[in-house]
Structure 1
């Protein structure tokens, strides 16, 4: 018997080893979300990398014929799958956002007559842009390849955390060029470029910087660029119409073989002679601090010209991250799941040099002591599921992100936590103060290797900033008046949830006074519910509700990225009281059913890019995050099986392993985090609670690495497209007779088994 038991253990270990050794990046499809409104990019990056090296198929100026250019919204990530040409390859991108910026330091290889204008879509041959075909394009985790048809150049890209690595295979040519466009960028505001500078150190090494005034108003980025082969000559063109040079600049010929150049709008070029099949490689390091920082980043991260070695090292990083959750399922399920995992691990991004230095919100240079500093905090989106996911599979990294937010607070002249921050800038985008949700969630779940009481003070200070976006009126009246803010209702609802988060954090830390103050504030959502209309409703300063009101529209109704139908359900912290407020269980279920079944007329889709048919199911807006918890609210009613039904209906409609496979902006990973949780069978309806609502698992099984050598093992029996209803749940050998898991249930490790069927219980 002992030998048999030993053999069983050995077989079990081999099975586990085989599962862990499976190549998971084969299921990652970076091309997913690049068509329509997913706003992802297909290029190369490592997990949470500072460099995102990706092709631009076009860019858009902020204005077109004196008006806002709607193409700006299409090119948030610089790449649209349906485009036929590539302009070049730049080093910084947002993933899945609804706003544009970045696109720094665009590089384009060409042959033949030198052209320093990109040309146009309808006349690509007039410039350096090139037609391309998806048949000659490969997008993998940390690897991108495409053939540029105009020049017959094969472009390959890979990265480290702070360095972009280019490999261009040229045809035979006496006129081969590498163009460095210092003026290119995504979302080209008028006068976005404040200044650019470039210095040629020798015939293989170039350095410089770029200062921009875009969405991030005062952004600086430095670079160090090295070629694998010396260039034979170089030059530039200044595209500014009015630029005066004095002193040095007026005394030297700068156009050809210049030692250094500076200006607002510059494009430089470097000339080579190439043999057939010759590879020219470029290492391009960036730094938020200095040229010396960029040079040090390159020396630390890429000390070889072996492209395949750098590619493999980055892909090994992805394998390690992806293996934090291993699932069982068919190929399509795995492609959806691991592409979602990939998208959740792009942002936030590392924002510091290898020595820990970074530029702070106060525009001074700081050093991250004992933590990694991050940026790109789209907190209105990511507080919902992305950061809770990190608290399970990557708690140390999430704690560093919280430390980055607290450093932001210390550097903030407004004494506020981040709202939507990027590159040492606060963009003040969207509503709420949702950094408090992320911080409170970490504290509640025991992932707080920082001064939690100081963090609570930062949360309270932010929540009492009377001058910010209606907080003063919110504190005085218990709601934000319609006259004060066009998003008065949604802001009131979001503040109420954030206040509940502060209350939970205070309770955990034993601060009774703060708990009582903010638990009271968390009930303010009731002040904007109108029992007459049956919706959360804009309310005037005199206490009356607005008379002219359309609960279906998204424009000028008191809400941001949603309508009253969806936002009325935005009380994630108190669903039981919301159900009572709305008339009880029966009426609430009817309301929920109507949300999913009512088809919005076409006129509502034309109002704004915020709501498109891509992310709509009936009147339910999955493409916008305020609805992400909604399907789980049935768990608080007498028909929880409807949560299971709706989740399994949403998953295949909103997520597919195709270029158009995301039903809305990925929003720096929030859409993908929703998929991961929901396909595993549970979801954090109210971060800062230790509870997860039960849904309906869409995988056949999963192993979640929860740290300290522990795993949370998910077994799913009889799951299928029709078998979406839970018959029973067994947790660690005992029936689970509730519709919730605790954080401890997951992090302590163990086994949960879902028994599925075609009929609801």
Structure 2
């Protein structure tokens, strides 16, 4: 699809002159600061859509372990930045967006003035190191651009990016002691103990290349770089903070710390010295590569050949404008637009591009591969994102999502474990969370007709993945029809999630007329029944002898067979068969009452004793919006014959869990899943069971939305009379014809048309 944005997007008046119809500057509604406080774990820095570089400030340097024990505060810094902090350590080039686990934070850069300091110092004593105090009043965070004043050194820092290159612009005071520090020890998972090796080559007085290997969450992660300065440095040096007896070896023959062109070690920090005039700007280009330092240099020279910061910033924001224009909304107030377009921004950050401009990348086998005919992606938080993010991509980013599916199939082909990804990034599998939900993504793409790859090989990969008996109790699941709690923890969650994934495989097989596969997996899709205890009305852990675990508290989250939830939440996790679940739990009336209680009960304080400092963010009664297993639950009222309850509770969740401001997310954004829930629900429908071609109808929270589809069609959603009180759907019309269903098919959307909601304050 051709771009519709003009050359300059910052002035709304430019649009009218350049186009036949005015197009709003949507970048102005993106507020990257949303979610940077408390639990959101987003970052405020500069990136482009799905970019490899996430150039952002880090505000602390906590170690994952403290005195040999897990440091719970490291959880706060999954994205490297916490809004309540008063100091900035520096600006690193890789960040997760909204995750519940930390890693990355590669290649931190910090400009300073005065006496050289090569340690970061501490938050309570910032002047003891190179960190600096800052104020939010001097901070600007926009899509593709970040700016802050470093108060202690009177330096203004500005950041922008291309897909593979971060561009820094530092405005210095007059000084003959200006420095730019490159901290090769810094990382978000663990500040100083997880660096395996670093190599640096100073090519000339303005170009530096090298790589860093880390053993953090990703055990064998290697990132290559090329760093270029707009002005030659007058001097450079380094310091190795590792045990020199062990790590320096024969290098001690030379003075490696002063102007030595090749450096290697575990714990390196470098500095580059400059003389600066008042308000002189020094720019730094920093390119990344997953394959080689030569690849990083190629990325740098290809994507960012010049030094025009404003032009690069403008191009980054044009790229965001182009993506944001995929959905044009009409809303009653600016806050609604800020929530919507910031959510859209957050969904378009991950997964991230993971290949050089020539297609090279390092695979799971640690060899260099070349992506042929697709863009290779990484950062797959699949336990979260299979629910809404990837279904959203199948609607508004189908080409990218198809490439993501091919990236996952490449992952499968490169590992000897015969597994599709579970939670993978940077050529590493982290094995985080339960299920094998990559099969759901592939099934959803195939069922919705967005699979321009060998679909039968994809199905074979799904079957192989789901047949790996060594994985997380799968052997017991296959043999017994459930995972026994005494053999594999979180057994109920695993059983329920495997059953859903198996249903998704069955739908894919049915689409491909592979009925032998269908018959096998549709049977396994019913294994959720094997962990339902009719005597309590809840899903309950069973032991290997077939009995239910005796000690059982449906409100507790610890030791009860569940992960990130309790029996109340997970007993509702049968998205593939809501009618069967409702019948099993006593029929429509009793099921609806169960849902009502979920939202209205008050949990005693004792059930929060394991949450450390996570607090009660994201919780409404016993409904946990901040944890993904509950995301489909509110739409289950549709299957009880009480759709108005879905409608009123969807609007309640939207109102209470999503706000503008730094604390505007009621839980980790989880690589865009929370934001994708918001987008679907605000538009008025939601994918309860990805792998199906149907979406459940809800209650739209904007007046109008026009979705521009990649096939050239548009689908318009109009909500007549909607407002804070008018949350009930009085009538639906699809292309002018009354529509009486409470689901809408994917095909009806992508062929274009108009869906009208007539809203009312009465159900």
TM-score, normalised to structure 1, is: 0.97
Q: Does the CA contact (< 8 Å) of 1:611 and 1:624 recur in 2?
A: no
SS at 2:617's partner residue? helix
Counterpart for residue 605 of structure 1: 608
SS at 2:701's partner residue? coil
Q: Does the CA contact (< 8 Å) of 2:192 and 2:267 recur in 1?
A: no
**1:371-418 alpha-carbon deviations (Å, 9 max, x no partner):** 000000000000000000110111010000000000000011100100
Q: Does the CA contact (< 8 Å) of 1:59 and 1:187 recur in 2?
A: no
Q: 1:733 aligns with which of 729, 732, 736?
A: 736
Counterpart for residue 284 of structure 1: 286
- Judged with a 3 Å threshold, the aligned counterparts in structure 2 of structure 1 residues 391 and 309 are, in CA distance, closer, same or farther, namely same
Bigger Cα displacement from structure 2, 56-65 vs 339-348 = 56-65
Q: 1:690 aligns with which of 653, 672, 693?
A: 693
Q: State the 1:609 CA deviation.
A: 5.2
- Judged with a 3 Å threshold, the aligned counterparts in structure 2 of structure 1 residues 610 and 360 are, in CA distance, closer, same or farther, namely farther
Q: 1:620 aligns with which of 620, 623, 626?
A: 623
Counterpart for residue 517 of structure 1: 520
- Judged with a 3 Å threshold, the aligned counterparts in structure 2 of structure 1 residues 233 and 189 are, in CA distance, closer, same or farther, namely closer
Counterpart for residue 251 of structure 1: 253
Structure-1 separation of matches of 2:274 and 2:193: 32
Structure 1 segment 265-664 matched on structure 2, within 5 A:
265-329=267-331, 330-608=333-611, 612-664=615-667
Counterpart for residue 161 of structure 2: 159
Q: Does the CA contact (< 8 Å) of 1:460 and 1:502 recur in 2?
A: yes
Q: Does the CA contact (< 8 Å) of 1:254 and 1:261 recur in 2?
A: yes
Q: 1:179 aligns with which of 163, 175, 181?
A: 181
SS at 1:614's partner residue? coil
- Judged with a 3 Å threshold, the aligned counterparts in structure 2 of structure 1 residues 16 and 470 are, in CA distance, closer, same or farther, namely farther
- Judged with a 3 Å threshold, the aligned counterparts in structure 2 of structure 1 residues 661 and 47 are, in CA distance, closer, same or farther, namely same
- Judged with a 3 Å threshold, the aligned counterparts in structure 2 of structure 1 residues 20 and 455 are, in CA distance, closer, same or farther, namely farther
SS at 1:551's partner residue? coil
Bigger Cα displacement from structure 2, 604-613 vs 725-734 = 604-613
Structure-2 separation of matches of 1:245 and 1:221: 21
Q: State the 1:346 CA deviation.
A: 0.4
Structure-2 separation of matches of 1:114 and 1:738: 68
Q: State the 1:65 CA deviation.
A: 2.3
Bigger Cα displacement from structure 2, 138-147 vs 248-257 = 248-257
Structure 1 segment 9-48 matched on structure 2, within 5 A:
21-48=23-50
Structure-2 separation of matches of 1:421 and 1:338: 27
Structure-2 separation of matches of 1:675 and 1:15: 34
Aligned pair 1:742/2:755, yes or no?
A: no
Structure-2 separation of matches of 1:322 and 1:378: 23
Structure-1 separation of matches of 2:481 and 2:618: 32
Q: Does the CA contact (< 8 Å) of 1:29 and 1:335 recur in 2?
A: yes
Q: Does the CA contact (< 8 Å) of 1:243 and 1:263 recur in 2?
A: no
SS at 1:286's partner residue? strand
**1:650-686 alpha-carbon deviations (Å, 9 max, x no partner):** 0011100110000000000000000000000000000
Please give the root-mean-square deviation of Cα atoms over the aligned residues, in Å. Answer: 1.4
- Judged with a 3 Å threshold, the aligned counterparts in structure 2 of structure 1 residues 115 and 14 are, in CA distance, closer, same or farther, namely closer
SS at 1:195's partner residue? strand
Structure-1 separation of matches of 2:612 and 2:248: 46
Q: Does the CA contact (< 8 Å) of 1:20 and 1:326 recur in 2?
A: no
Q: 2:133 aligns with which of 131, 138, 159?
A: 131
Q: State the 1:632 CA deviation.
A: 0.1
Q: Does the CA contact (< 8 Å) of 2:57 and 2:80 recur in 1?
A: yes
**1:281-305 alpha-carbon deviations (Å, 9 max, x no partner):** 0000010111100000001100110
Q: Does the CA contact (< 8 Å) of 2:16 and 2:23 recur in 1?
A: no
Bigger Cα displacement from structure 2, 599-608 vs 308-317 = 599-608
Structure-2 separation of matches of 1:15 and 1:244: 66
Q: 2:200 aligns with which of 198, 202, 211?
A: 198
Q: State the 1:246 CA deviation.
A: 6.8
Q: 2:703 aligns with which of 689, 700, 703?
A: 700
Q: State the 1:694 CA deviation.
A: 0.3
Structure-2 separation of matches of 1:665 and 1:649: 19
Q: State the 1:241 CA deviation.
A: 2.6
Q: State the 1:250 CA deviation.
A: 2.8
**Equivalences, count:** 748
Q: Does the CA contact (< 8 Å) of 2:185 and 2:191 recur in 1?
A: no
**1:101-154 alpha-carbon deviations (Å, 9 max, x no partner):** 000000000000100111111111010000000000000001000000000000
- Judged with a 3 Å threshold, the aligned counterparts in structure 2 of structure 1 residues 757 and 49 are, in CA distance, closer, same or farther, namely same
**1:684-710 alpha-carbon deviations (Å, 9 max, x no partner):** 000000000000000010001122221
SS at 1:113's partner residue? coil
Q: Does the CA contact (< 8 Å) of 1:611 and 1:623 recur in 2?
A: no
Structure-2 separation of matches of 1:15 and 1:264: 56
**1:228-254 alpha-carbon deviations (Å, 9 max, x no partner):** 001110111111134446776232211
Q: 1:64 aligns with which of 62, 66, 79?
A: 66
Structure 2 portions without partners, runs of 5+: 1-14
**1:455-512 alpha-carbon deviations (Å, 9 max, x no partner):** 0000000000001100000000000001012210000000000000000000000011
